[in-house]
């Protein structure tokens, strides 16, 4: 007998990702559908057969679990003091130049022990789960020394073993330059000290850099990402967040799986992403929180570049974990439809983190499924700030 069935749902899902262009607006919709689950996988759709456990969706919405493909979820401390400064007109960059910003979280994270970081992160993951997030990418980048970057990645590794969600680890040693090292000296530490050790211990799947004016140049970013690739890590880029800094332009050179942020991509950058099949991971909560410029989501869709959305959860630029709210912000800031936002937070996000076995409701896929307390998919971003999630099924288990 199968383990679980979800019956009578309005199942809304995309199939055959990554989904591009006008296809992002047209999910498959199955009314009164049944999903059969066994051993963690979806084994049949719309067949009725006995199962050990049944969830009756009563005609309500059933969608894939959300995939949050860009977070900085492991850190200590908080930065509400900066929030107030920014409300008074001091910019994110000015705060960073004065030693606040990322470096203030680096100080707090260096001072926290493993256990404290694990406990803080677990609480955040549980909260995200209650909002339907079943897969989470987590970056290092608040250590900026070999010892502290490894500590962060070990914490992420522990979360991978002990949390409900699928955890995807990313090495972001190039998040900032540490104040206690010279520029060349730190580049050397990343390339010759951190990377070999991380690869040897298999502590990360992705490598990321903050390619931005005042942080890592295009050339430095390229060097780090190519070396990471030599060590078997897949490249991601924090690209063109605050200015057109060239991040997206190296997408093809390094074979970037995703470019993230993208408020100011150049035409050259968009072409490079298109040629490389790079996913555009857009972060609308960050745009709102920093009063920044919205990424040109419609342009990416028109160019057939797969668009994903993510929370960017972090203490400086986006203290939000709720993916339904991120969907609302994506619709409002980018003028994309609720269906496009759903596509961006599920199947396309799966491709941004190379979890292609997740992100949709299809036979043969992992059973990461949400049963919601609403009638249709458009209600998710419409009920702004409302949590629609009633049941979370992760790897076939009701959480």
Of 281 and 392, the one with the shorter C-beta distance to ligand NIG is 281
**Considering CB distances under 5 to 8 angstroms, the limit depending on partner class, which of Fe ion, ligand NIG, none binds residue 104?**
none
Residue 52: CB minimum distance to ligand NIG, A: 43
Residue 341: CB minimum distance to ligand NIG, A: 19
DSSP calls for 274-311 = HHHT-EEEE-HHHHHHTT-PPP-HHHHHHTT--EEE--
């383990």: which residue's tokens?
Answer: 3
How do 234-239 and 258-261 pair as beta strands?
parallel
Member of 69, 166, 317, 360 binding ligand NIG (CB under 6 A):
317
Number of residue whose CB is nearest Fe ion: 312
Member of 13, 69, 105, 311 binding ligand NIG (CB under 6 A):
105
Residue 359: CB minimum distance to ligand NIG, A: 22
- Which among 16-24, 101-109, 243-251, 296-304 is the span making contact with ligand NIG, rule CB under 6 A? 101-109
Of 14 and 234, the one with the shorter C-beta distance to Fe ion is 234
Q: How many CB atoms lie within 10 A of CB 206?
A: 22
Closest CA to 163 of 132, 130, 131, 129: 129
312 counts as binding ligand NIG under rule CB under 6 A? yes
Residue ranges with strand state E in the chain: 2-13, 28-38, 41-45, 51-56, 61-64, 66-68, 133-139, 166-174, 206-211, 234-239, 258-261, 279-282, 307-309, 369-372, 389-394, 397-398
Sign of the C-alpha dihedral, residues 352, 261, 232, 205? negative
Residue 149: CB minimum distance to Fe ion, A: 16
Tokens of 111: 């001072």
Number of residue whose CB is nearest ligand NIG: 316
State which of positions 216-255 bind ligand NIG (CB under 6 A). Answer: 238, 241
State which of positions 283-322 bind Fe ion (CB under 5 A). Answer: 312
381 counts as binding ligand NIG under rule CB under 6 A? no
101 counts as binding ligand NIG under rule CB under 6 A? yes
Member of 66, 177, 210, 264 binding ligand NIG (CB under 6 A):
210
Of 257 and 370, the one with the shorter C-beta distance to ligand NIG is 257
- Which among 12-20, 35-43, 100-108, 384-392 is the span making contact with ligand NIG, rule CB under 6 A? 100-108
CA atoms within 13 A on the CB side of 253: 18
C-alpha 338/C-alpha 329 separation (Å) is: 10
**Alpha-carbon separation of residue 300 from 245, 321, 391 (angstroms):** 18, 24, 33
Residue 13: CB minimum distance to ligand NIG, A: 29
CB 221 within 8 A of CB 238: no
**Contact set with ligand NIG (CB under 6 A):** 72, 101-102, 105, 210, 238, 241, 286, 312, 314-317
């Amino acid at each position: 007998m199968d383990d679980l069935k979800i019956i009578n749902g309005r199942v809304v899902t995309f199939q055959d990702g990554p989904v591009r262009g006008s296809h992002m607006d047209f999910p498959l919709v199955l009314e009164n559908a049944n999903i059969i689950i066994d051993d963690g996988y979806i084994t049949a759709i719309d067949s009725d057969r006995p199962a050990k456990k049944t969830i009756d969706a009563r005609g309500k919405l059933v969608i894939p679990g959300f995939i949050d493909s860009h977070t900085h979820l492991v850190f200590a401390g908080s930065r509400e003091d900066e929030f107030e400064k920014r409300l008074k007109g001091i910019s994110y960059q000015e705060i960073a130049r004065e030693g606040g910003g990322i470096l203030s979280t680096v100080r707090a994270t260096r001072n926290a022990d493993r256990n404290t970081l694990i406990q803080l992160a677990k609480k955040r993951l549980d909260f995200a789960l209650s909002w339907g997030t079943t897969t989470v990418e987590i970056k290092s980048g608040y250590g900026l020394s070999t010892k502290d970057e490894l500590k962060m990645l070990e914490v992420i590794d522990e979360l991978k073993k002990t949390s409900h969600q699928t955890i995807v680890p990313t090495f972001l040693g190039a998040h900032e330059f540490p104040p206690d090292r010279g520029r060349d000296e730190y580049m050397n530490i990343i390339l010759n000290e951190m990377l070999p050790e991380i690869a040897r211990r298999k502590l990360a799947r992705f490598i990321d850099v903050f390619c931005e004016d005042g942080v890592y140049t295009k050339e430095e970013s390229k060097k780090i990402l190519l070396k990471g690739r030599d060590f078997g890590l897949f490249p991601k880029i924090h690209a063109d967040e605050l200015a057109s800094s060239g991040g997206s332009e190296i997408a093809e050179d390094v074979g970037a799986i995703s470019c993230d942020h993208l408020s100011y991509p150049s035409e050259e950058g968009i072409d490079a992403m298109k040629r490389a099949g790079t996913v555009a991971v857009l972060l609308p909560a960050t745009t709102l929180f920093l009063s920044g410029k919205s990424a040109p989501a419609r342009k990416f869709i028109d160019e057939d570049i797969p668009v994903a959305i993510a929370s960017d959860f972090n203490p400086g630029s986006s203290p939000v974990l709720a993916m339904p709210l991120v969907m609302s912000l994506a619709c409002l800031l980018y003028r994309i439809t609720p269906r496009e936002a759903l596509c961006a937070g599920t199947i396309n996000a799966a491709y941004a983190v190379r979890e292609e076995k997740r992100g949709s409701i299809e036979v043969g896929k992992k059973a990461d499924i949400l049963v919601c307390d609403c009638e249709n998919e458009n209600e998710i971003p419409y009920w702004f700030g409302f949590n629609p999630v009633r049941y979370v099924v992760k790897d076939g288990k009701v959480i």
